[in-house]
Amino acid sequence: MARNLIALVAGLVFGLGLVISQMINPEKVIAFLDLFGNWDPSLAFVMGAALIVTAIGYRLVWTRARPVLADRFQVPGNKKVDARLAVGAVLFGLGWGLVGLCPGPAIAALTVGGMPALLFLAAMAIGMLAFELFDRRFARAA
């Protein structure tokens, strides 16, 4: 129960941060990504602050023997950058640059974004389902 409550609070704080920083505003994000046009650098400060908080958080967390609400840390074992990861990163970046939303901000944008956020999330879900279908088909073939 405590894990779920902490996850809920963390999610709400994260979503509130996305709303306050305007990362749920596609026009703001696209202006940030438009380096050679009408560039808006304000989101760089948001990202810089997030990096500082994350760096401090990791320093504090790794001083502990184990997490507060789990038996052990769950650290990914795969450190290899393969074609699948690279293609996924490129597709993510293209989608973010074209639409101005990524999954976290799109979910937060449902509170204020209306139909565009809903359409983005529907398209994202269809893309995820298509990936699962193709991934299973190629896994069977291999």
Question: Would you call 70 helix, strand, or coil by DSSP?
Answer: coil
What is residue 113's predicted lDDT score, i.e. its pLDDT? 66
Instruction: Judge contact between 141 and 54, C-beta under 8 A.
Output: no
Q: For residue 129, how many other CB atoms are within 10 A of its CB?
A: 10
pTM (predicted TM-score): 0.74
Mean pLDDT of the chain: 89
Domain boundaries, the chain: 2-141
- pLDDT value at 139 more than 90: no
Which residues contact residue 25 at a Cβ distance below 8 angstroms, ignoring those fewer than 6 apart?
A: 100
Q: What is the pLDDT, as a whole number, of residue 42?
A: 92
